[in-house]
Amino acid sequence: MVKLSARPNIAARVWNDSVKNLELAMSIKQKIFSFVILLSLFISALQVSPAAALTITGVSPASVLNNVATEVTISGTDFTADVVVTLTGGASPVALALQSWSETSLVVIVPAGVTPGTYKIQVTTALDTKEFGAFTVSAPIPTATPAPFGRPQIVMDSYRTNVGEIKYNEEFNLVVRLHNAGQVRATNIQAVFSSPDLTPTKTGGVSAEDVINADSRVDISQKMRATTSLYGKSGVQVDLSISYYDDKGTAYSEKFTLNVPVKATNYVAAATATPTGMKRSQLVITSYESDVEILQPGSLFSLELGVQNLGNASARNVTMIIGGGSSGGSGAGGTPQPGGVSGGSGEFTNFAPVGASNIQSLGDFAPGAALVASQKLIVNVSTNPGAYPMKITFSYLDENGNTINDDQVITLLVYSLPNVDVSFYQPVGTLFVGQPNFLPLQVVNLGKKMSVLGGMTVTTPSGMLENAQTLVGSIESGGYFTLDAMLYPDIPGPLELTVTIDYTDDFNQPRTITKTLTLDVIEMEEMPVDPNFPEGGGGGGGGEGFPPVEQEETFLQKAWRFVLGLFGLDSGQPVEQPVPIYEEEPIPVEPGVRGPKG
Specify the pLDDT at position 531: 63
| Whole-number pLDDT of residue 308 | 92
Alpha-carbon distance of 444 to 483, in angstroms, equals: 12
Architecture of domain 283-414: Sandwich (2.60)
Instruction: Verify cis geometry, omega within 30 degrees of 0, for the bond prior to 61.
Output: yes
Pairing relationship of beta strands 359-365 and 370-379 according to DSSP bridges: unpaired
Three state DSSP letters for 152-212: CCEEEEEEEECCCCECCCCEEEEEEEEEECCCCCEEEEEEEEECCCEEECCCCCEEEEEEE
> Is the distance from CB of 575 to CB of 551 less than 8 angstroms?
no
Output the pLDDT for position 380: 92
Exposed, middle or buried by CB within 10 Å (0-12, 13-18, 19+), for 264?
exposed
Superfamily of domain 58-138: Immunoglobulins (2.60.40.10)
pLDDT value at position 541?
A: 46
**Burial of residue 31, with CB atoms counted within 10 A of its CB: 0-12 exposed, 13-18 middle, 19 or more buried:** exposed
**CATH of span 420-522:** 2.60.40.10
Q: 343-354 burial, b if ≥16 CB within 10 A, otherwise e?
A: beebeeebbebe
Distance CA 96, CA 64 (A): 14
Domain definitions of the chain by residue range: 1-32, 58-138, 154-261, 283-414, 420-522
Q: What are phi and psi of 279, to 5 degrees?
A: -95, 130
Q: Cβ neighbours of residue 534 under 8 Å, at least 6 residues apart?
A: 543, 544, 545, 546
Of the CATH numbers 3.40.50.1980, 3.40.50.300, 3.30.70.141, 2.60.40.10, which one belongs to the domain with range 154-261? 2.60.40.10
Q: How many residues does the chain have?
A: 598
- What was the pLDDT predicted at 330? 42
Equal CATH topology for 154-261 and 420-522: yes
Residues in a beta bridge with 156: 178
Nearest to 451 by CA among 414, 481, 476, 482: 476
* Full DSSP string of 66-93: TTS-EEEEEEEE---TT-EEEEESSSS-
Q: What is the pLDDT of residue 302?
A: 94
* Cα distance between residue 301 and residue 334, in whole Å: 41
Residue (of 38, 81, 78, 43) closest to 57 by Cα position: 78
Distance CA 153, CA 216 (A): 11
Q: Are 323 and 390 in contact (CB under 8 A)?
A: yes
Q: Please identify every stretch of the chain with a pLDDT value under 70, giving residue numbers as ranges.
A: 1-11, 14-15, 18-19, 25, 41-52, 144-148, 265-277, 328-340, 526-551, 570-598
Q: What is d(CA 190, CA 178) in angstroms, rounded to the nearest whole number?
A: 11
User: 276 with 240: CB under 8 angstroms?
Assistant: no
pTM of the model: 0.43
Neighbour count for residue 82 (Cβ, 10 Å) = 10
